[in-house]
């Protein structure tokens, strides 16, 4: 077996346990090259002509981990398994009835069984204490039903399913919002869920003005004295309804008190995260036909009901020329060529993938969403001699993502000329989208003339596992966590093993320069100011039509008032969401660079994220 592409044991281990194609005693992928050939051939099979040529082009960008398709693609493409190649889904709207709730539960189980992470908006479920329609019982609230999902996830995982990540969202004006905020404070609760609060512009206005905030629920869904017949009514857009509906005000809270509860929970427990839902919908390329209220498990793909996205990341470390020298630079032409090929590859995924549900197939083929991003930024900056916490780092990162975005859009226009536009395309409405209006004139003119193949093209995922596969490059947009550290890695049988890991750039420096002192560009996540994390995310957001999964590392002793300011700054900068992690005795540490570590309860850990 040729191990020359692996420079670390963890990389080979990830390939062996997650992506190598085998069935019982039959081993089909004898080497990582076989895996690349398998994926390349499978994605080229949908081409109407020149299949062998396209298979060669696809192999070339896969070779050496230059382009990293999402984990479901690498594990499933070209195999005989009846699995989805899509990393993540948002499930259908949960109607407020027992029948609908358990139908949604079944759909989630079927989706996770095939390997997809799932997201749900639980805002449609009545709050605790409200009388249930027609049966005289009292509703137990969204959080109680989330526990059923959590148990289901445990059961599905016990059958050997590969994924277990889920996202739960709840509106900031739902009467059970405080219960949702505190849902994971007790140890072991909802451990398969990530939680995010859907924060509206109206709430942020009330927060800034120090006003009271109404907690509401659709009046037509309520019975009894607390519900449909008495009290103040306001109009709200609500999931499951095409138009604003009358909502009963059940109580009011001070906006700043509610915000403080969200912030304190996030400070102490790393959850819930915050999704700025109006910004998400305002910048949605398909805002003319869909309303979003949930995301995939790690938050980089806001999706409508039954929406799905296939992901892939350009490994920037493979495009650094003359690393650690005065001549170090990125080969931007090579990046452009890879992005063009990768866009076509991800588009082809849509046509060869299985789907757990027919509704998911309809959404995926109707929009043809893809999520192309980057990984290895932290290591790349080090190899270029640029400190992560500097203005040049932000400028370079923005330049790279601008190149990725514009190249992907140009490619999608050419694909539309060759293969046709996505079925949900409405030229006039699409061109009026806020994100589309911010693209260069030649791209907008190309869309006007020829249409476009994919409704959305860019997203930045956390890439924890596929970055480990690529010889432990830094994940996504994150700085290097540490140069040498240990990680507990999940095995196929559910057990954990310890691995000593060495960062890609650190390993490369030592292989070239031995024990010479590290250059100043070698900084890690523990030394980066939280505000710098925010600036990097903000620098790239203008070139990301979906969203960005970015964890802002916060030191344990970081001041709470400063911590709260991070989220308001994220909103002011037009970000679609914000996630922080502050290691403390409650949260533990995701990874550990010392002699001891604890397993993180946070659901975005690399063993469970949907990549």
93 within domain boundaries: yes
Higher pLDDT, 167 or 481: 167
- pLDDT higher than 90, residue 35: yes
pLDDT band, very low/low/confident/very high, at 526 (cuts 50, 70, 90):
confident
Cα angle for residues 595, 512, 330 (degrees, 5° grid): 100
- Output the six-digit token pair for 29: 């992928």
Helix, coil or strand: residue 518: coil
- pLDDT higher than 60, residue 417: yes
HEC profile of 156-179: HHHCCCCCCCEEEEEECCCCCHHH
Distance linking the first and last C-alpha atoms of the chain: 26
Q: Where are the beta strands (DSSP E) in 422-558?
A: 484-490, 496-502, 551-554
What is the model's pLDDT at position 159? 57
Residue-level pLDDT at 607: 45
Which whole number is the average pLDDT over 120-137?
Answer: 84
For residue range 347-396, list pLDDT tens digits in order. Answer: 999 999 999 999 999 999 999 999 999 999 999 999 999 999 999 999 99
Residue among 356, 345, 400, 381 nearest 522 (CA): 381
Contact 254, 212 (CB under 8 A): yes
Q: Is residue 427 part of a domain?
A: no
pLDDT beyond 50 at 231: yes
C-alpha 57/C-alpha 411 separation (Å) is 15
Q: How many domains does the chain have?
A: 1
For residue 154, the domain's CATH number is 3.20.70.20
Q: Which residues are catalytic?
A: 296, 298, 300
How many whole angstroms separate alpha carbon 481 and alpha carbon 500? 14
Q: What is the pLDDT of residue 229?
A: 56
Q: What is the pLDDT of residue 154?
A: 86
Asked if residue 574 is part of any domain, the answer here is: no
pLDDT at 603: 37
Banded pLDDT at 591 (limits 50, 70, 90): low
**What contacts 240, CB < 8 A, 6 or more positions away?**
93, 95, 124
pLDDT at 506: 97
pLDDT of residue 421: 98
Stronger pLDDT, 466 or 499, i.e. the higher one: 466
Residue 494 placed within a domain: no
Q: In this structure, is residue 432 part of a structural domain?
A: no
Inside any domain, residue 185: yes
The pLDDT value given to residue 497: 82
Bigger pLDDT: 447 or 586?
Answer: 447
What's the confidence (pLDDT) of residue 131?
A: 77
Q: What span, in angstroms and rounded, lies between the C-alpha atoms of 171 and 298?
A: 18
pLDDT at 498 over 90: no
Q: What is the pTM of this model?
A: 0.94
Task: Please state the rounded mean pLDDT for residues 148-154.
Answer: 92
User: Is the predicted pLDDT of residue 608 greater than 50, yes or no?
Assistant: no
pLDDT at 216 over 80: yes
Q: Between 557 and 609, whose confidence is greater? A: 557
Of all residues in the chain, the percent with pLDDT exceeding 70 is 91
Q: CA 40, CA 56: separation in Å to the nearest integer? A: 7
The pLDDT of residue 162 is above 80: no
Range of the domain at 264: 88-282
Average pLDDT over residues 519-540: 94
CB atoms within 10 A of CB 156: 19
Buried b (16+ CB within 10 A) or exposed e, 443-478: bbebbeebbbbbbbbbbbbbbbbbbbbbbbbbbbbb
Q: What is the pLDDT of residues 530-556, one digit of tens each?
A: 999 999 999 999 999 999 999 998 999
pLDDT at 163: 55
Pairing of strands 193-199, 166-171: parallel
Question: Which tens digits make up the pLDDT trace of 434-468?
Answer: 999 999 999 999 999 999 999 999 999 999 899 99
Do 139 and 129 meet the contact criterion of CB atoms below 8 Å apart?
A: yes
198 inside domain: yes
Across the chain, what does the average pLDDT equal?
91
- The answer to whether residue 271 is domain-embedded is yes
Q: Are the C-beta atoms of residues 72 and 83 closer than 8 Å to each other? A: yes
Residues paired with residue 233 on neighbouring β-strands, in sequence order:
248
């Amino acid at each position: 077996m040729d191990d020359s592409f692996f420079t670390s044991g963890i990389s080979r281990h990830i390939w062996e346990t997650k992506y190598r194609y085998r069935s019982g005693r039959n081993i089909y992928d004898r080497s990582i090259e076989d895996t690349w050939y398998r994926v390349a051939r499978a994605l080229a099979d949908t081409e109407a002509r020149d299949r062998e040529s396209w298979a060669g082009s696809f192999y070339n960008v896969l070779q050496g981990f230059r382009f990293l398709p999402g984990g479901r693609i690498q594990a499933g493409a070209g195999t005989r398994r009846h699995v989805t190649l899509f990393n993540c889904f948002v499930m259908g709207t949960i109607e407020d009835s027992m029948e609908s709730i358990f139908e949604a539960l079944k759909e989630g189980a079927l989706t996770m069984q095939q390997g997809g992470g799932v997201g749900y908006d639980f805002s449609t479920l009545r709050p605790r204490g409200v009388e249930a329609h027609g049966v005289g019982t009292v509703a137990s609230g969204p959080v109680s039903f989330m526990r059923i999902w959590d148990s289901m996830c445990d059961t599905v995982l016990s059958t050997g399913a590969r994924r277990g990540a889920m996202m739960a969202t709840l509106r900031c004006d739902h009467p059970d919002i405080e219960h949702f905020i505190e849902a994971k404070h007790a140890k072991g609760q909802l451990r398969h869920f990530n939680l995010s609060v859907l924060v509206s512009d109206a709430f942020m206005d009330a927060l800034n003005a120090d006003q009271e905030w109404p907690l509401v629920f659709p009046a037509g869904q309520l019975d009894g004295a607390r519900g449909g017949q008495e009290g103040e009514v306001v109009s709200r857009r609500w999931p499951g309804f095409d138009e604003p509906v009358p909502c009963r005000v059940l109580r009011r809270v001070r906006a700043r008190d509610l915000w403080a509860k969200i912030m304190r929970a996030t400070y102490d427990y790393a959850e819930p995260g915050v999704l700025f839902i109006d910004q998400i919908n305002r910048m949605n390329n398909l805002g003319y036909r869909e309303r979003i209220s949930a995301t995939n498990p790690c938050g980089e793909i806001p999706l409508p009901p039954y929406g799905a996205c296939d992901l892939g990341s350009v490994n920037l470390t493979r495009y650094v020329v003359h690393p650690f020298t005065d001549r170090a630079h990125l080969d931007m032409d090579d990046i452009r060529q890879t992005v063009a090929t990768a866009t076509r590859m991800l588009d082809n995924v849509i046509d060869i993938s299985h789907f757990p549900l027919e509704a998911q197939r309809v959404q995926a083929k109707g929009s043809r969403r893809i999520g192309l991003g980057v990984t290895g930024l932290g290591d790349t900056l080090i190899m270029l001699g640029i400190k992560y916490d500097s203005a040049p780092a932000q400028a370079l990162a923005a330049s790279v993502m601008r190149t990725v975005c514009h190249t992907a859009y140009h490619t999608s226009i050419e694909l539309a000329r060759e293969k046709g536009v996505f079925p949900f395309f409405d030229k006039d409405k699409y061109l009026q989208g806020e994100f589309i209006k911010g693209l260069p004139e030649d791209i907008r003119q190309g869309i006007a003339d020829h249409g476009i193949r994919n409704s959305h093209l860019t997203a930045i995922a956390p890439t924890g596992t596929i970055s480990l596969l690529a010889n432990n490059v830094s994940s996504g947009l994150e700085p290097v966590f540490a140069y040498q550290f240990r990680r507990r890695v999940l095995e196929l049988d559910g057990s954990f093993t310890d691995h000593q890991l060495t960062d890609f750039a650190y390993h490369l420096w030592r292989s070239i320069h031995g024990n010479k002192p590290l250059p100043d560009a070698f900084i890690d996540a523990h030394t980066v100011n939280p505000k710098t994390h925010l600036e990097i995310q903000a620098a790239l957001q203008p070139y990301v039509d979906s969203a960005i999964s970015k964890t802002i590392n916060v030191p344990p002793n970081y001041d709470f008032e400063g911590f709260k300011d991070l989220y308001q700054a994220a909103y002011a900068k037009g970000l679609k969401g914000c996630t922080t992690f502050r290691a403390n005795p409650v949260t533990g540490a995701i990874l550990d660079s010392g002699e001891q570590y604890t397993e993180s309860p946070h659901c975005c850990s690399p063993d469970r994220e949907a990549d």
